[in-house]
Amino acid sequence: MSESMYANNGSQVEFYTEPSDDVLWQIANQNGAIADKVFRALKHTISRARSSTGYFMAVLFDDNGQVIGCAGFVQNRKCVSQWLYTDLWIAPEHRRQGKAKMLLRESIGYLHSHSATSLLCTVLPDNYSSIKTQMSLGFKEIPLKPFGFFEIDDDLLMFELRF
């Protein structure tokens, strides 16, 4: 099941509550020799998230229908209007072009239209590009806090965007 939204420059974002194996393989195959491992990890994360909370995946396609990015979104079981995004990925040849920001903007709009009130994410402290992206979208750094079944590493920074 998917819903489509169109982003800039011919790219399209689709939201999947149940991403097909074909979509997951397109994402996994971007990782070369470890594609099998990435595919299994995606299936495992989706299965765990869907069994305990709400879940969807936002997938960014180029104008030729090729996957160029994705992110997973997990609902907080205790506060259903709060979500966490994880595993944001953009294909190397599409980085530094605003694609991550585009994918996140569309996803934020999707979440807002589905009654979400906040979105969390974690970032490695030395991932300056990601921190800059979060800040440019209005995220604020907050103290680390647990989120469902995800283990939040003490070495991470946590950001929150309130709608």
Res. 159 pLDDT band, cuts 50 70 90: very high
User: Tokens 């209005």 sit at which residue?
Assistant: 138
Domains and CATH numbers, the chain: 2-115 (3.40.630.30)
Distance CA 121, CA 145 (A): 11
pLDDT score recorded for residue 89: 92
Give residue-wise pLDDT tens across range 69-111: 999 999 998 899 999 998 899 999 999 999 999 999 999 999 9
The pair of structure tokens assigned to 58 is 């936002």
Is the pLDDT confidence value at 1 over 70?
A: no
Res. 18 pLDDT band, cuts 50 70 90: confident
Distance CA 64, CA 66 (A): 6
Indicate the pTM of the whole model.
0.89
Work out the average pLDDT over 34-61: 90
Integer distance in angstroms from the first to the last C-alpha of the chain? 26
Is the pLDDT confidence value at 148 over 80?
A: no
Name the average pLDDT for the chain.
90
Distance CA 41, CA 18 (A): 15
Give residue-wise pLDDT tens across range 123-134: 999 999 999 999
The strands making up 67-75's β-sheet, listed across from edge to edge, are 2-6, 12-16, 55-61, 67-75, 82-90, 118-123, 157-162, 140-142
